[in-house]
């Protein structure tokens, strides 16, 4: 990968097939491909409609999309500032360890700073040792005293 240009850009409506492919690959990586309910039509409305609910950064090398970061804005009442929730971060297996994930996270950090966000939050599986080490290398603080809660 040395010498190749990494482009990080916001996805557009024409990228929906690529986004779908990367979502399926991420679900396979997470061991839950059956959980994907996303459809191109849902993504079109939710990501590129009148009021987008979330955003997608794509990582490209030589014009090929090889990774993504999906995110949306949150709000901290304690800080009285917005934040970003990183929902998915994924890089195709053959392109890992080439700073693609780092480039995606650094671009997301830049967006957070531009928008006046206090922080970026996300989850990582307890068993994902590589992911935890990767996030720590980037300066993330892993909080062990909180648990993800979900309704519905």
Phi, psi of 78 (to 5 degrees): -65, -40
- Say if CB 148 and CB 123 are below 8 A apart: yes
Q: Which residues pair with 73 in a beta bridge?
A: 84
Name the active-site residue from 24, 71, 90, 135: 135
CA–CA separation, 63 and 15 (whole Å): 12
Please indicate whether residue 90 is annotated as part of the active site: no
CA–CA separation, 131 and 101 (whole Å): 10
CA–CA separation, 125 and 57 (whole Å): 22
Q: Which helix (H) or strand (E) holds 64?
A: strand 64-76
Catalytic residue numbers?
135
């Amino acid at each position: 990968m040395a010498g190749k240009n990494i482009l990080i850009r916001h996805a557009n409506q024409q990228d929906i097939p690529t986004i779908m492919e990367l979502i399926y690959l991420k679900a396979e990586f997470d061991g839950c491909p059956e959980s994907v309910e996303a459809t191109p039509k849902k993504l079109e409305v939710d990501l590129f409609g009148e009021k987008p609910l979330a955003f997608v950064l794509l990582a490209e090398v030589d014009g090929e999309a090889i990774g993504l970061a999906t995110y949306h804005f949150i709000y901290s009442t304690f800080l009285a500032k917005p934040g970003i929730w990183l929902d998915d971060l994924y890089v195709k297996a053959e392109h890992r360890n080439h700073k693609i994930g780092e480039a995606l996270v650094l671009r997301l950090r830049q967006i957070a700073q531009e928008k006046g966000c206090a922080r970026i939050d996300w989850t990582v599986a307890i068993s994902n040792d590589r992911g935890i080490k990767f996030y720590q290398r980037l300066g993330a603080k892993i909080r062990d005293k909180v648990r993800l809660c979900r309704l519905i």
